[in-house]
Amino acid sequence: MRYKLTIEYDGTNYCGFQKQPDQPNKSVEEILENAVFELSKQRIKIFASGRTDTGVHALGQVAHFDLDKEFEATQIASGINYYLLKKDIAVLNCEIVDENFHSRFNAKMRSYRYVIVNRRAPLTLQKNRAWHLPNKLDIESMKLAASFLIGLHDFSSFRDSKCSSNSSLRSLSQIPPRNSSKFL
């Protein structure tokens, strides 16, 4: 059975999504795989729609894995969440999907949210959730620069040499206006 997960996590204490050989039990991937093992007693491999870097959070990342044993989707979500209680990771939804589904290659879009808090006072409530810039920003120059990012671009210089994607072309469709909560 193939299970599709929608997960969220606070990446503050993690080395990113992907397992790192020099940082055991510090990746979201490894923590999830261990939780699935605790539930099913089967070692699995989690496949995600993308990877996040150290300290990066996710609001609705999609991942999938296969199990030999059949569970109801609600059992998977509740069971994994039980083993994640103190881990800053949660399964928001679980679905049983066709064996041809792949969380990375079936993804049609990804959304990213970058938050800048522009004030002199340090961050408290948004600490680890925003970039603190105490100096005055030139908003008009930032808007102009951002407008050049919209459209189709070749990101080959940002790819890993072992990247399995068919194309390095990516399209950026929009940048929300200042103070937008569009992606919340």
**CATH code (residue 49):** 3.30.70.580
Dist. CA 173–CA 177, nearest whole Å: 13
Q: Are 120 and 92 in the same domain?
A: no
Domain that holds residue 29: 2-97
| Tens-place pLDDT, residues 37-88 | 999 999 999 999 988 889 999 999 999 999 999 999 999 999 999 999 999 9
Q: Residue 10 is which amino acid?
A: D
Looking at per-residue pLDDT, the higher value among 25 and 4 belongs to 4
Model confidence at 97: pLDDT above 70: yes
Does residue 76 sit in the same domain as residue 121?
no
pLDDT at 183 over 80: no
Give the residue numbers marked as catalytic. 53
Residue 179 has what pLDDT? Answer: 59
**Calpha distance 172→160 (Å, rounded):** 20
The reported pTM is 0.82
Domain-ending residue, one of 34, 69, 97: 97
Cβ(62)–Cβ(3) below 8 Å: no
pLDDT for position 26: 95
What are the C-alpha distances in Å from 99 to residues 19, 23, 48, 63, 107? 24, 31, 15, 13, 15
Indicate the number of domains in the chain: 2
* Segment holding 141, helix H or strand E: helix 139-147
Q: DSSP characters for 48-92?
A: ES----TT--EEEEEEEEE-SS---HHHHHHHHHHHTTTTTEEEE
pLDDT-derived band of residue 178, with 50, 70 and 90 as boundaries?
low
Contact 33, 44 (CB under 8 A): yes
Same domain, 126 and 156: yes
Residue type, 98: D
Does residue 79 lie within any of the structural domains?
A: yes
Residue ranges with strand state E in the chain: 2-9, 47-48, 58-66, 89-97, 116-117, 131-132, 151-154, 169-172
